[in-house]
Amino acid sequence: MNLTRATITEIVEAVKAKSVSAKEVTAHFLKRAEELNPKLNAFTSFNVNAVSQAEEIDARIARGEDPGPMAGVPFGIKEMLCTKGLVTNAGSKILQNFIPPYDATVVARLKKAGVVITGKLNQDEFAMGSSNETSYFGGVKNPWNLDCVPGGSSGGSAAAQAARLCAGTIGTDTGGSIRQPASFCGIVGVKPTYGRVSRYGIVAYASSLDQAGPMVSTVKDAALTLEVISGHDEKDSTTSQRKVPRWSQELSSNIKGMKIGLIKEYMQGGLHADVQKTVDNAVDALKKMGAEIVEVSIPMTEYAVPVYYLVAASEASSNLARYDGVKYGYRAEFQNLSAVELEDFYGKTRGQGFGKEVKRRIMLGTYCLSSGYYDAYYNKAGQVRRMIMNQYLEAFKNCDIILSPVTTSPAFKIGERVSDPLTMYLNDIFTTSTNLAGLPGMSVPFGMSSEGLPIGIQLTATHFEEQDMLNVGFALEDASPVKGKVPHVI
Ligand code: GLN
């Protein structure tokens, strides 16, 4: 068995059939990760107990117990998710040495399903960024071209998965952080409907937008992983009570008669030629499979980026107030702590602990929430957000799935956009409205630029209709001209 190229489903079957042990699988991926990580900087730390945890799975199988639907599958987890006993730093100096005493619900559910956590994955600081360049622990490199960014903020997850340093990864998506790096690195990334997956134990960035989801190699693997991590959680009151469908078993590439919507406002040019070609090819492929293509209009999408940055920065400024150096996390050094004024204590600690981008967002957000400006900014943004969602719901009366680009261009060069935050923010032009409206979205690899960089297609469904979205993704994956293509590091 070629473990490096094996899908999650194949690994589970082989482990359950005892043709390979969970220990062997884990050791294989750990070795790969340790060898290749110096090139990519995707992992921030490894789980030294991974092999012995894999042995426990093998012991369960030997005893005839059910080892779970994801038995023996090695996963890397984004630094945003709390992992009991493993450093969870959110890409920030302020949490550099933070070891949580508990697991995020997503992590707990993966472990219960038999997943072995092999380590933690690099990301933009507090998930603020689109290139992984804001991480305190250094940027991540794109395995398809080491001079390019892997995207962000889940850049470590995308790079680790594309280079197959693990069999699956988890990312988080507040404004595109699963879909954009998935597109840049040629993997499948799914952001579930808001409320599908528990946020308990996930470092909070913008609570009304954050969702965690799978970043894996195939649509089926994404469906299976999503099944395991989804569902009501009494520890997160925003999770839905809805039953979790068996997406992986219901997966079907028969999309005949399905209506695929193209957003009129997204088709006004300005796309990189290879991205445009990828979108056109995907539309042609879906037509050939019997789907009907319709045009839909979401004029308010024009405001998605400013509304997103207003909402996200405001919520972040409030969420990040907890990092004060008192209870946990980094604390600035003081000669004589008892003689320090509280304001100086906070100021110095937060001044040293947070990076530049995080500080920029805290300042913007604090301003938007301040008395006298709250109505003009945060409230107004909330109203526009509602209008964006209403227009989406209207559009979904005429189509089942909306197809769009993920980004305007393939992965850009490291350093190219760091000094220009506005250009960096504009990266999120096609991804943020999905979060604002709470909809599920995914990226499926479907093209390659002339320079050999992957290009994904974004699919969006209405609330809780992940199955339709996964089915169209499954059909596209099957018809993809880049099917089976992997970066040369493999
Ligand atoms: N790039 C966006 C931001 O910087 C999205 C990040 C995310 O989804 N976490 O906020």
CA 128 to ligand 1 center in whole angstroms: 5
For residue 97, pLDDT over 80 is answered with yes
From the CA of 428, how far away is ligand 1's center (Å)?
Answer: 8
Q: How far is Cα of residue 297 from the mean position of the Cα atoms in its chain?
A: 27
Q: What CATH number has the domain bearing residue 138?
A: 3.90.1300.10
- Cα separation of 470 and 459, whole Å? 9
Cα separation, 222 vs 358, whole angstroms: 30
Which has the closest alpha carbon to 79: 225, 207, 216, 202?
Answer: 202
Residue with tokens 């032009």: 429
Nearest atom in ligand 1 to the alpha carbon of residue 172 is 9
Ligand 1, pocket-test mutation among 128, 208, 320, most atoms within 8 A of CB = 128
Catalytic residue among 21, 92, 130, 153: 153
Give yes or no for a contact between 45 and 101, defined as CB atoms under 8 angstroms apart: no
Residue 415 lies in a domain: no
Residues 205 and 353 grouped into a single domain: no
Ligand 1, residue 174: give the atom nearest the CA: 8
Instruction: Identify the pLDDT of residue 328.
Output: 86
Query: How many Å lie between the centroid of ligand 1 and the Cα of residue 131?
Result: 10
Q: 189 and 250 share a domain?
A: yes
Task: List, for residues 328-348, the tens digit of each pLDDT value.
Answer: 899 999 999 888 999 999 999
pLDDT band at 40 (very low <50, low <70, confident <90, very high): very high
Q: How far is the CA of 123 from the centre of ligand 1 (A)?
A: 11
CB 144 within 8 A of CB 487: yes
Which ligand 1 atom is nearest residue 428's CA? 1
Q: Which domain holds residue 174?
A: 8-255
Pocket test for ligand 1, best of 122, 177, 183, 408 (most atoms within 8 A of CB): 177
Say if residues 443 and 457 touch (Cβ distance below 8 Å).
yes
- Mark whether 91 and 195 lie in a shared domain: yes
Instruction: State both tokens at 263.
Output: 């957003």
Domain boundary among 338, 356, 382: 382
pTM assigned to the model: 0.98
Residues 99-158 pLDDT 10s: 999 999 999 999 999 999 999 999 999 999 999 999 999 999 999 999 999 999 999 999
Cα of 126 to ligand 1 centre, how many Å? 9
Number of domains present in the structure of the chain:
2
What rounded mean pLDDT belongs to the chain?
97
Whether 48 is covered by a domain: the verdict is yes
Kindly state the tokens that stand for 68: 């779970």
306 and 244 within one domain: no
The domain boundary, picked from 230, 255, 280, lies at: 255
Give pLDDT, residue 426. Answer: 86
Mean pLDDT of 457-477: 98
Do 319 and 193 fall within a single domain?
A: no
82 found inside a domain? yes
The answer on 191 and 131 residing in a single domain is yes
- Among residues 177, 240, 248, 443, the one annotated as catalytic is 177
The verdict on 223 and 341 lying in the same domain is no
| Amino acid present at 141 | K
**pLDDT band at residue 70 using 50, 70 and 90 as cut-offs:** very high
- Ligand 1 pocket (Cβ < 6 Å) reads 127-130, 153, 173-177, 205, 312, 428
Chain segment 404-461, per-residue pLDDT in tens? 999 999 999 999 999 998 888 888 999 999 999 999 999 999 999 999 999 999 999 9
Q: Per the domain annotation, does 418 fall within a domain?
A: no
pLDDT interval class at 490 (50, 70, 90):
low
| Catalytic (active site) residue 314 | no
Distance between Cα 417 and ligand 1 center (Å): 15
Task: Identify the pLDDT of residue 105.
Answer: 99
81, 92, 122, 124: which to mutate for ligand 1, most atoms within 8 A of CB?
A: 124
Domain contains 260: no
Contacts (Cβ under 8 Å, ≥6 apart) of 382: 311
Residue 426 lies in a domain: no
Round to whole Å and give the CA distance between 156 and 42.
Answer: 4
358 & 239 share domain: no
Q: Which of 355, 382, 409 is the last residue of a domain?
A: 382
Residues 16, 21, 23, 78: which is the catalytic one? 78
Q: Is the pLDDT of residue 310 over 70?
A: yes
3-state secondary structure the chain: CCHHHCCHHHHHHHHHCCCCCHHHHHHHHHHHHHHHHHHHCCEEEECCCHHHHHHHHHHHHHCCCCCCCCCCCEEEEECCECECCECCCCCCHHHCCCCCCCCCHHHHHHHHCCCEEEEEECCCHHHCCCCCCCCCCCCCCECCECCECCCCCCHHHHHHHHCCCCCEEEEEECCCCCHHHHHHHCCEEEECCCCCECCCCECCCCCCCCEEEEEECCHHHHHHHHHHHECCECCECCCCCCCCCCHHHHCCCCCCCCEEEEEHHHCCCCCCHHHHHHHHHHHHHHHHCCCEEEEECCHHHHHHHHHHHHHHHHHHHHHHHHCCCCCCCCCCCCCCHHHCCHHHHHHHHHHHHCCHHHHHHHHHHHHHHCCCCCHHHHHHHHHHHHHHHHHHHHHCCCCCEEEEECCCCCCCECCCCCCCHHHHHHCCCCCHHHHHCCCCEEEEEEEECCCCCEEEEEEEECCCCHHHHHHHHHHHHHHCCCCCCCCCCC
CA 290 – ligand 1 centroid, Å: 35
In this structure, the answer to whether residues 350 and 205 fall within a common structural domain is no
If you take atom 5 of ligand 1, which residue's CA is the nearest one?
A: 175
Query: Are both 226 and 353 inside the same structural domain?
Result: no
Residue 159 lies in a domain: yes
177 is annotated as an active-site residue: yes
Task: Note the pLDDT tens digit of each residue in 247-276.
Answer: 999 999 999 999 999 999 998 888 999 999
- Is 93 a catalytic site residue? no
Distance from C-alpha of 244 to C-alpha of 179, rounded to nearest angstrom: 22
Ligand 1 atom at shortest distance from the alpha carbon of 209: 8
Residue among 78, 79, 126, 130 to mutate when testing ligand 1 (max atoms within 8 A of CB):
130
- pLDDT for residue 422: 87
Tell which residue, 172, 180, 34, 169, has the closest CA to residue 90: 172
Are 109 and 164 part of one and the same domain? Answer: yes
229 has pLDDT over 70:
yes
Are 63 and 145 in the same domain? Answer: yes
Q: Give mean pLDDT, residues 365-369.
A: 97
Asked if residue 272 is part of any domain, the answer here is no
Angle at the Cα of 129 from the Cα atoms of 124 and 131, rounded to 5 degrees: 80
